[in-house]
Each structure stands twice: as structure tokens, then as C-alpha cells.
Amino acid sequence: MARRHMGFVERHGEKLVFGMAGVVLTGVVLFCAVRSPNRIRVEGRALAPEEFYKLLAVRADHARQAIREAHLAELEELPQLASKAKVARGPFLAAGSPGPRIPRLDDLVELRNIKLATILAPTLPIASTGKAYAAVPKATEASILDARQPARLPSLVPGQDWHWVTLAAVISRHAQRQAFLAANYALGRLDFIVTDVEAERQEQTRNGTWRTAELIKPYQQLRLIGPRETQLHEDKFGYEVDPQDWGWIHAYRQQLGQREAQAAILRAPFQPFLAEQRPEDDDCFAWTVPATLPANDGTEITLCDAAYGLRFAVDESPGSAFLKGSAAALAQLKQAKEAMATGWETVGLQPYLEAAEDLRSIAADASVPNGLRQAAARVLEPNQGEIAYATQLRRAEQARQEMAVDTGLGPPVEPMWITDTTVEPGKTYRYRIRLFALNPYAGAPTYLANPHDASRLILEGQWSPWSKPIRVKPIHHLFLIGPDDEAQKTVRVQLYQWSRGTWENGSTTVGIGNTLVIERHTSRLTYDGVVHKIDFHHPYVEDRAREQDSRRTAASETVALTLAKSDGSLEEHFAARDKLLRRDLLSDIRNEEKRRRTRQGHGQGWSQGLRADLQKRSPGTRTQPGLGKTSSSNAG
């Protein structure tokens, strides 16, 4: 039988079939077993299952760490609403909204194309100034990543002279929250976490103009710092944050997203470091802020509240002002009596409670005549129940207002203050301040209209208006006493200088070309200037209004002294005018010493342990009130 010829397909067909089957099998194994064809879109990126699981594990670790490190704030006891006997009150009052807001579907779904809201400015800052000799802790900085471990208290510097300007203002968390809501922020991104406060300062020149503004760092015992921006990486799926930068975001939220941390930033303590056990060394009242601050919504914040930990001198505390004389006490008693008779329903809760506080002040003030004190006590006695009820209503109202918008970081409207310790005595400044806040959308570029905004960890706020000018109290004073030797053209002057918490003074004679220096064994009194001109018969018009004289002015002659200052300006002194200025200075010095000795004040003081490690001053650092140490010498 003849052998049949086989074609190509017959000879190799089965090989091709097996080869194609092998290729298909390899592809199936490669794309289905080794790599999955499935993709999950997360924040604009297409992730394979294993990539998704890795990302999920990282996010879960962050969430678990946040839960472990979080702590519940202690719940304050709700005010107990007392009822008065035989008096029917209205419906039950609760510290909450009677119609709670029902979440909408839009609240549960996070919107996209978000534009970052503006960080609002504080109110107009109100400036005050002071000086003291104290041992204040040195200001330090620490990385916010290292703040998880208990921070070691900064070391104390020896006692030294401090000069400062304090700026007090008000911020509104409620207004900032409304700005976030208006920008369509998700409900989970409404926390207003302040990270820092910045101030800008301008110095006034002698001709009244302002120098170029400079940034300053207010005093803060421990400032936590970190980067304000991070890097975004772009790939074919969009933008993403470096995983290492998530640690910064988490640290900001963990360390600063607490009520205590916010209070330390907005109200950095400084007054407690000026207090001392010895009355003659206690300078805590030298640091002051206004007793009340106006808010943008028309309300006022009382800084005498115990929550702020401040101390006020008696004559600076609202509602309990020091009553000088029976006439003022009588007028105050009449107004308070009328308010008690009218009732809080008519006059309002706040005026009613202020009147009650006025009555308590009169009844407890030893300087008020005994008859007025007894009259105030008689008005208080039958109204104690009504006052207690009004107090409970006021507390319930405040609690209801706070619960409406309080996120746990602070009340709807709260005060803030900063202390600038880099000022120079005798100079005049003005300030403006702004806040820095954590970006709620830091690290979340998918939800933003501008993805690059997600790289901004910290957002800078708007500047407040400029404060009114304030002059730092000078520590050098020169007073022209009178002629010494007209033939030799010499006059007698007196220098006052504040150093180490006390005023020292000395007198000397000077002539043309002399510098103003008095050398002493333990100190050196100086005044900037060189005697340029002396006039023993200078025309002078005296203002006698201060002398309670019916004549407003009187023309006369007096000794005049002209100094050439180091900055090129000229300074004139007149013996007749310097006599009055010297008297004013001595009065101020005596008032400072009197306030330091009495140590009377209002407020709950500062937290326990804040001054436990401060060094005590050596005894005898101050002299008798007003006069200090006196010396006399002749200038060469």
C-alpha cells in the first residue's frame, strides 16, 4: 500500500493547538493568579487589591493609634435649675436645643471641589504695658512629633528686669465654624485648631511716622513647632501625600486638638511667673489685661472668670470695684436697690446679677460707712432666693450657648492674649495679630478644587486691625532741679533709674558739654544726652490747672536745659515743669509699692504646680516705697 503524503497542518496542527493553549494558560495564571485584574478607586487612584489592603492597613493603624492616645474630657456638671417656693415657673429648661438638627444626606457624603475657607481675624487688640523684676522661665521650642513624651520643664533664668506689652483680643469659634460650613466643609472637618499666634509690630518715630513692620514671637513657655507645608506627589492616578507626612498631620491633631492645648496657645501664661510669696516682691498685678473684652457679636467677655486663671487688682475688677467715699457707695446702692425691686425679668439677667454683686461689694467693703453696709445687707437678704435662681438661669443659658457650637476645643467666643517681651522702654509701638490654624483638608487633595491646597498643613489667618499706640514705660527720668552756679553755667539735675525691681535716684551738677552719668558703688545711673545749652532766664508759661488755681496760666521765667540726644534730636527740660513731672513719678512709684504690699485682688489664680519650681528671690531686693537709694555727685 502506498504511503500517503501528509501536509503541514497534519504534521504541526496539534503542536500549534498545544502552544496556543499554553499561552492562554500562562496569561490566565499571570493576570488572575499573580496579578488581579480588579481595580479599586481610592481618592482618585486605581489600586489593586493588595495595594488597597496595604493602604487600608496604614489607615487602620493611624486610626487605632489615635483612639489609643485620645482621652475623654471631663464632663462638667450641668447646672441644677432650682425652683423657688410658691412661685410657678415656666416650662422646663434644658441645656440643649429642643429641635436637634437632623443630618441630611449631603452631610453624610463628603463633597468635592472644596475651596479653603478664610481663617478669620481676631478683634481689635487692646494693648497694655508693664515692667517687673522676676525669674521667668526661658521660652523654648520643641518639635510637635517629640511632644508625645512628657516634656521637661524649661530651665529658669535668674531674676532679671522684664518689660512687656500685652495684647488682648477675642476670637469667635462660632463665626469660624459658620465660615467652614459656608465653604461646604464636611461635618468631620469643622474643628478650628489654632496652631500659633503671630504679631506684627511697628515703632513710632519722633516725628510721628511708623517704621517698617516687623514680625515678633510672643512669649510662650513651650512652643510646639512643625512644618507648615508638605509635598504632594503626582502620578497617573492624581496627587497623593508622602506617607511620612501623615505623621505630622496626625501629630498636629493629636497634640493641639485638645482644649488645654488651645488655651495654652491662645492664652500663654505670663502673670503667674511674676508672683512671689513676699509681698514686697510680688509683681503679678504689673501684668494686666482689660477686665472685659468686646466681641464682634456685641457681647462682652469677662476675664475675671475663674476659667482664665487671672488675678485682677480690686479697683480693676468689674462689678466689685473699690468704692471710694460714701457718695459713690450711696449712688451704687440706689441703683442696685432699684434693680432688685424691678426683678430680673424686666432688667435682664446680666444687669440683675451685676447689681447683686455691687451689693455684696458694698456690704464687704470696710471703707464704706457702716450704715451703708448694713443697708446693702438688708437689700440682699430677702432677695437671696431670687438671686440664686437668676444665677442658675444664667449658667443654663451659657451652657446652652456653648453646647450649640462647642466642639470641645473652646467656647463659641473666647479671649486671647499674647505678651511681647522684646520691647524697649520709652518707645511707642502699635500691633496687629493673626492666627495660624490646622488645614482641615491637609493631605486630602481629592476633595479640593485646587489639589495643591492639600499640601498646606497650616493656614495663615487674616490680620486684625492695628491697635492703638502704646508707650512702654521709660526706666530713665531726668528732672531739672534749678540753677547751681550761674557764673559757671551749671545747673543741678536729678536722675531716676529703675533697675532690679527698684527705683534709684541721685543728683548731680552739670554744665555745657557734660554727659549725664552718676557713678555709684553698686550701680550706675545714666541718661541719654549731652548738655547742649543752658538758659537761666527762659520765658515760661505755667499751666496752673493742675494746682487747682482759678487762673489757667501764668507767665514767668525758669531755668531751661537743652540736651543733644544720641539720635541727633534735642530734648528740652524746664525746672518749673520738671517739678510737676517729678511729683507725678513719685506718686506712681508709691502707688506701685502700695499695690504690691496690699496684694488684694480678685480671681482664682493659676493652676497648681505652675510656680512650684520657681527660684525665690533673695531678701532685701527692694527699697522703701518711692525713694530708692539716693546719692549725690558732681559730673565731670
pLDDT in tens, 44-78: 667 777 777 777 776 776 666 556 544 444 444 44
DSSP assignment letter at 120? P
| Distance from the first to the final alpha carbon of the chain | 148
Report residue 167: phi and psi, to 5°.
-115, 125
> pLDDT tens for residues 124-154?
999 999 999 988 888 888 888 875 444 444 4
- How is the chain split into domains, by residue range? 38-71, 111-325+409-471, 476-634
Rounded to 5°, angle at Cα 115 from 110 and 118: 120
Residue 216 to residue 235: CA distance in whole angstroms: 40
> pLDDT tens for residues 439-479?
999 988 889 999 999 999 999 999 999 999 999 999 999 99
Q: Which of 83-92, 107-116, 131-140 has the highest mean pLDDT?
A: 131-140
> pLDDT tens for residues 223-263?
988 899 888 877 766 777 777 788 888 889 889 999 999 99
Categorize the per-residue pLDDT at 201 as very low, low, confident or very high, splitting at 50, 70 and 90.
very high
Q: Which of 3-17, 29-43, 366-380, 563-577 has the highest mean pLDDT?
A: 563-577
Q: How far is CA 61 from CA 71, 189, 241, 251, in A?
A: 18, 20, 17, 14
Categorize the per-residue pLDDT at 97 as very low, low, confident or very high, splitting at 50, 70 and 90.
very low
> pLDDT tens for residues 319-343?
444 434 556 777 778 888 888 888 8
Report residue 503: phi and psi, to 5°.
-95, 130
Residue 202 to residue 420: CA distance in whole angstroms: 13
Which residue bears the cell 498631620?
249
Categorize the per-residue pLDDT at 603 as very low, low, confident or very high, splitting at 50, 70 and 90.
very low
Indicate if the pLDDT at residue 159 is higher than 90.
Answer: no
- State residue 215's pLDDT score: 96
Residue 166 to residue 289: CA distance in whole angstroms: 7
Mean of pLDDT values over 367-391: 83
- State residue 300's pLDDT score: 84
Categorize the per-residue pLDDT at 387 as very low, low, confident or very high, splitting at 50, 70 and 90.
confident
Q: Which of 296, 403, 315 is nearest to 76 (CA)?
A: 403
Indicate if the pLDDT at residue 117 is higher than 70.
Answer: yes
- State residue 500's pLDDT score: 86
**Which of 473 and 4 is assigned the larger pLDDT?**
473
**Which of 601 and 287 is assigned the larger pLDDT?**
287
- Give percent of the chain above pLDDT 90: 32
